[in-house]
Structure 1
Amino acid sequence: MKLIYRLLFFLIPGILSLLRPFSSKLNNFLEGRKFGLSKLRNFRDSYPGKLAWFHVASLGEYEQARPLIASLKSKRPDLGVLVSFFSPSGFDHVVKKPQANVDFITYIPLDRRSWAEKFVEILKPELTFFVKYDLWFHHIQALEKHGKPIFLVSASLREDQSFFGPLGAFFCQNLFAMDWIFTQNKKSIELLREIGYTRSSLAGDTRFDRVAATASAPLSMPQLERWIQGKPTVVVGSAWEEDMKLLIPLINSRPDYRWIIAPHDLSPEPMERWASRIVLDSKRFSMWRASDTNSVLFIDNIGMLSSLYQFAKIAYVGGAFGKGLHNILEPLGFGVPVIFGQVKRASRFPEAEQSQIEGCGFSVSDESSLFEIFGRMEQTDFYNNSVNSAQNWVNSNLGAADRILEKVTSLIPAK
């Protein structure tokens, strides 16, 4: 299997280069990696000190890493921090502006052995953290070769992952290379024990730390506050067409509400299409003023959503009917009950199931069930219980980053 894996990553760069003229996303994926090693070498020449490496797949995993990075920097200010991304969507979003506590942002090279070894050789990390998943065999082997400590944090393992399938013997090498694995749930620890891995502990999901920090200091938006005028407000995060099919009849039935909608796709076409089906007056944020009297506001930019939930009485988070549910913890961090579509693969989004158990998350499958749960939310007792449940659940899960660093420090004391 190792030979096949190496052959695969020997061929993949050439195949991707042939396909890049037909895909702007693929072109971005490859273009971003050009001169990656030379840029990394220039950074290390200018920053030769001790370094912690955090690898994330994309933006969601970076959000999980941020509380840990902040906690690490507060306890180990001598450590620089480098973050690597696999996905251009995450990299492009984060690299646009300075990131607190992060000294360098880069792409991880494709997992060809020579590239991985050169990457680690230049980087020479004191500590390495892989966040949630996205474990690359040759990079991990290179870290082991150099005797560098490796940790997997916020792990949420499932039976259908490659570690537990027919090729598990090969992919499990990535897990067994870890000095310690910090999991989000007990199920992950049980799965690890089934394959004979015991260096693990339940730390929780660092996203709770992140959403609590955002909720404690959201962006100030006085213009939006004036526009809302104390009216009940629904914030729709990461809306897809499948979500809006259910939501538009609800929006049309509630003219006394304010509706703030952040689409997944920021191109004008879907917003224009949705606006044509909404009977209430709507505007896009880029063309809007606080004095406008519209009831519906489409957010046509990136970066506002996590703070918009401060205005919400109820939140709806999209994606469940399509590629996957987006972050429901962001509104819950503000104590806002959240509605979302029926998740197709529940094991991939354990927070969706747990939020329903806790009484602050509500799954809908069609227009009828959406109207039903929204009507219940308009009942004072039901709503207040949902708010209290959200606050209690978030508060009970805080501290994952500190628990992780406490264990890491005990295993790898600072020199």
Structure 2
Amino acid sequence: MLLLYNIGIRAYYFAVLIASAFNTKARLWLTGRHRQSVANTSDSIWFHFASLGEFEQGRPVLEAVRNQHPTHPIIITFFSPSGFEIRKKTPLADAVYYLPLDTAGNAQRFIASIKPCAAVFTKYEYWYHFFNELHRKDIPLYVISAIFRPDQIFFKWYGSLHRRMLTYITHLFVQDNNSKQLLDQLNIQHVSVSGDTRFDRVWANAQQPKDLPVIASFKNSQPVFIAGSTWPHDEELLASLVPPYPGWKFIIAPHEISEEKITRLMELLPKEKTVRFSQIEHLPAPLSTYQVLIIDNIGMLSSLYQYGNIGYIGGGFGAGIHNTLEAAAFGMPVIFGPNYEKFKEARDLISLQAGFSISSKEELSTITDKLIANEDTLQAAAKIARDYVDKQKGATELIMDKLRLKLE
């Protein structure tokens, strides 16, 4: 199995190499790793995140460790360029790197350079050679906000290598009892049900969001429908909502903001009613007179939700929905596409009638009509969403109780 794993890792590298000729993300993934130089560090605490979403998910633990262990250098690695490029200068770390390709040699060299006294991985990043090297050097390894499902490779007959990785982890902090029960079947006992640290992160953000006066001016005391992390299929459906609701404002924050993507989105919307955030200073009319605002930058979304009444979360017509909790924490019912089953919080919100899954333009219209036409229904769903996040927070404190014992 290890031979197949190593072949797969190298095949992935060559696929990225080929894609880098025409794909910006692949090019960043490749050149970022080739150009980086890892400085020698001692007694560091290493945090690894797949991408930006996992960084925000693990951020409460990162901040707590930074505060409680100020003498330890903090090293952060990312797998994806979307995380590295946005957080490469975060003050929460002493150094930020791309995670090198998972080979035995890379793992040995990287860990020898940063010399961690502990490593913390978030949610679902499992890399054999890095885990093996940490285990071989007796360096504590923690995985936080982990979640397991029966269809994952750990529970397949061919998943022996991945099951071995689980034995290299010092402690697993899982999101729910179902995950713990699945791990029990594998006789993995070093497990605690701590919940999901994303709840702590989004709740803290909702208590002290960054003021955005420009967005308040656009809102102009009108109700706002905010669509975050949208993809083209989402946007085609959303465009149909604008004409029927002239009393509502719409803010759309696409997942990808290349000029090509933004131009395509603009073409779906009423030209005279739509404005890009980057062009606000050059408008022929007051901002408050426009109905649709396109956010063509990165980093505003988590603060945007404070101005909204209904949220739409993109990605549900692709690999899976993005972060529903950021919107829910501000007391917004959330709508999303059909691919949500892997996300416990989405299933929970649906069962509580504060989340709604749609598969078509007609279904989106029906749900939107239901929420807009009945203020009591909208307010009830908003309160349920906010209360749900409030009740789920606290994972960071549970995790830190165990981490503290190991890092002192």
**TM-score, normalized by the shorter chain, greater than 0.5:** yes
Q: Report 1:366-377 matches (<5 A).
A: 366-377=360-371
CA contact (8 A) 1:233 1:259 kept: yes
CA contact (8 A) 1:6 1:113 kept: no
Structure 2: distance between partners of 1:310 and 1:21: 40
1:147-191 CA distances to partner (integer Å, 9 max, x unpaired)? 100111110111121111132211111111111100111111111
SS at match of 2:21: helix
Report what 1:153 is aligned to: 144
Instruction: Check if 1:230 corresponds to 2:225.
Output: no
Q: Is the alpha carbon distance of 1:278 and 1:99 closer, same or farther for their aligned partners in structure 2, counting shifts above 3 Å? A: same
1:138 offset after TM fit, Å? 0.8
Match of 2:74 among 77, 81, 92: 81
Instruction: Check if 1:245 corresponds to 2:236.
Output: yes
Match of 1:215 among 196, 203, 206: 206
SS at match of 2:47: strand
Report what 2:2 is aligned to: 2
Report what 2:25 is aligned to: 25
SS at match of 1:5: helix
Report what 1:138 is aligned to: 129
TM-score by length of 1: 0.92
Report what 1:278 is aligned to: 269
SS at match of 1:196: coil
1:42-68 CA distances to partner (integer Å, 9 max, x unpaired)? 5x2xxx4x3111111111111111111
Instruction: Check if 1:364 corresponds to 2:358.
Output: yes
Shifted more, 397-406 versus 374-383: the winner is: 374-383
Q: Is the alpha carbon distance of 1:72 and 1:233 closer, same or farther for their aligned partners in structure 2, counting shifts above 3 Å? A: same
Task: Please list every run of 5 or more consecutive structure 2 residues that lacks an aligned counterpart in the other structure.
Answer: none
Instruction: Check if 1:349 corresponds to 2:343.
Output: yes
Structure 1: distance between partners of 2:260 and 2:311: 24
1:317-341 CA distances to partner (integer Å, 9 max, x unpaired)? 1110123211111101111111111
Q: Is the alpha carbon distance of 1:5 and 1:316 closer, same or farther for their aligned partners in structure 2, counting shifts above 3 Å? A: closer
Report what 1:330 is aligned to: 326
1:274 offset after TM fit, Å? 3.6
Q: Which residue identity lines up with residue 379 of structure 2 in the other structure?
A: N
1:239-265 CA distances to partner (integer Å, 9 max, x unpaired)? 222112222221110111111111122
Q: CA RMSD in A?
A: 1.9
| Percent of residue pairs identical | 35
1:18 offset after TM fit, Å? 5.7
Task: Please list every run of 5 or more consecutive structure 1 residues that lacks an aligned counterpart in the other structure.
Answer: none
SS at match of 2:75: strand
Report what 1:299 is aligned to: 295
Structure 1: distance between partners of 2:210 and 2:228: 16
Report what 1:60 is aligned to: 53
CA contact (8 A) 2:167 2:188 kept: yes
1:102-126 CA distances to partner (integer Å, 9 max, x unpaired)? 2111011111101111111111111
Structure 1: distance between partners of 2:387 and 2:101: 42
Q: Report 1:115-126 matches (<5 A).
A: 115-126=106-117
CA contact (8 A) 1:51 1:127 kept: yes
Structure 2: distance between partners of 1:141 and 1:65: 22
1:278 offset after TM fit, Å? 2.8
Q: Which residue identity lines up with residue 185 of structure 1 in the other structure?
A: D
1:101 offset after TM fit, Å? 2.1
1:252-295 CA distances to partner (integer Å, 9 max, x unpaired)? 10111111111122123443344344336101111114832211
Q: Is the alpha carbon distance of 1:222 and 1:35 closer, same or farther for their aligned partners in structure 2, counting shifts above 3 Å? A: closer
CA contact (8 A) 1:341 1:365 kept: yes
Instruction: Check if 1:405 corresponds to 2:396.
Output: no
Structure 2: distance between partners of 1:8 and 1:271: 35
